């Protein structure tokens, strides 16, 4: 059986390479997401028996200036992939985001809950969800949040870099969510893809986020403590740190549906320790 993964160097793709080294991984040279037809053709070329899309436009703020380009990559390409998979009855896993929600309230967002993205990035990912769902076939859209790892650019690595250079950082405290280890997401994608082959009726939207839910400031403090850095974290409001793209204040995700796949929310603190150890930053 051939597992085909779109993506090579991103956080989740990097972890998939570790967990499924025999899979076929397609980077931009092999399947450019700005060319949806080429992505669909790759599925036929490689005779894929399962497909995971771990590639995306993830530059949230840059999407505000080029929503059309972000939408091609985050919507048109996965839609084409999903249709190619549905035509062949091949399980397809699409990774999505908490940014499809408005971020109001304090309760966890349910998979079937109302969506109202605040940003161009969120709109592009929601459009991708709808394109994938419309394709039919065995599929799971896996929404996740606050992804971190020892690879690529992410909050954990940014905090390490800044915490080593400064004795004080101001970090947003009124955005709440579940930091999620990329390694755990990769493992969940593999489990879901395998289950879909035998139980296509499990298709739909699922949430997968680390626990417990925390603020960015609390996450930053945990990183500093884990790395033995004395950098002090000052809590600030989102309004004190303006960005081009609006972020949801409430990114809590209801992950109850994971039980159908034998999965549960990962403890982000354990994932943080693994990432810090890999980076040689654990005390």
Average pLDDT of 36-60? Answer: 94
The pLDDT of residue 144: 98
Q: Write b or e for each residue in 235-263: b if 16 or more Cβ atoms lie within 10 A of its Cβ, otherwise e.
A: bbebeeeeeebbbbbbbbbebebbeebeb
Domain assignment of residue 74, yes or no: yes
Q: Which of 92, 121, 146, 219 is catalytic?
A: 121
Distances (CA, A) of 270 to 12, 148, 152, 207, 211: 17, 12, 19, 19, 10
**Which residue's structure tokens are 């304090």?**
106
Write the pLDDT tens digit of every residue in 130-142: 999 999 999 999 9
Gap between the Cα atoms of 145 and 55, Å rounded: 15
Cβ neighbours of 277 (radius 10 Å): 12
> Which of 9, 27, 126 lies closest to 79 in space, CA to CA?
126
- Tell me how many domains the chain contains: 1
- Is residue 227, in this structure, part of any structural domain at all? no
Query: Looking at the domain assignment, is residue 233 inside a domain?
Result: no
Residue 93 within a domain: yes
Residue 222 lies in a domain: no
Q: Which two tokens stand for residue 147?
A: 């992804």
Token digits of residue 192: 């879901």
List, in order, residues 6 or more apart from 59 with CB less than 8 Å away. 121
Cα gap 221→216, rounded to integer Å: 9
Q: Is the pLDDT of residue 98 over 70?
A: yes
| Banded model confidence at residue 2, pLDDT cuts 50, 70, 90 | confident
CA 156 to CA 279: how far, in whole Å?
11
The secondary structure element, H or E, covering residue 127 is helix 120-135
> What is the CATH number for 43?
3.40.50.720
Domain that holds residue 197: 3-153+179-209
Residue 262 lies in a domain: no
Tell me the pLDDT band of 1, cut-offs 50, 70 and 90: low
Whether residue 282 lies inside any domain: the answer is no
Per-residue DSSP letter, 99: G
Q: What was the pLDDT predicted at 29? A: 87
| Contact indicator for 251, 145 with CB cutoff of 8 Å | yes
121 is an active site residue:
yes
Instruction: Say if 70 falls within a structural domain.
Output: yes
Given a cut of 90, whether residue 246 has pLDDT beyond it is yes
Share of the chain above pLDDT 70, in %: 99
């Amino acid at each position: 059986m051939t597992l085909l993964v779109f993506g090579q160097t991103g956080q989740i793709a990097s972890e998939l390479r570790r967990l499924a080294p025999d899979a076929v991984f397609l980077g931009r040279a092999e399947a450019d997401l700005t060319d949806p037809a080429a992505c669909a053709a790759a599925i036929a070329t490689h005779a894929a028996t399962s497909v995971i899309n771990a590639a995306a436009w993830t530059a949230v703020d840059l999407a505000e200036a080029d929503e059309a380009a972000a939408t091609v990559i985050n919507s048109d390409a996965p839609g084409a992939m999903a249709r190619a998979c549905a035509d062949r009855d091949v399980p397809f896993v699409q990774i999505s985001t908490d940014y499809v929600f408005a971020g109001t309230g304090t309760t966890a967002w349910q998979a079937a809950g109302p969506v109202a993205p605040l940003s161009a990035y969120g709109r592009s990912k929601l459009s991708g969800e709808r394109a994938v769902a419309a394709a039919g076939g065995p599929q799971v859209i896996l929404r996740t949040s606050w992804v971190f790892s020892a690879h690529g650019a992410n909050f954990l690595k940014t905090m390490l870099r800044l915490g080593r250079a400064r004795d004080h950082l101001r970090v947003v405290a009124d955005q709440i969510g579940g930091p999620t280890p990329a390694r755990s997401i990769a493992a969940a994608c593999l489990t879901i893809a395998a289950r879909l082959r035998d139980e296509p009726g499990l298709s739909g939207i699922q949430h997968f986020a680390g626990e417990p839910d925390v603020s960015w400031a609390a996450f930053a403090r945990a990183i500093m403590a884990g790395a033995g850095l004395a950098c002090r974290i000052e809590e600030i409001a989102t309004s004190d740190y303006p960005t081009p793209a609006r972020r949801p204040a409430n990114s809590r995700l209801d992950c109850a549906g994971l039980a159908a796949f034998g999965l549960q929310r990962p403890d982000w603190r354990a994932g943080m320790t693994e990432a810090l150890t890999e980076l040689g930053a654990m005390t």
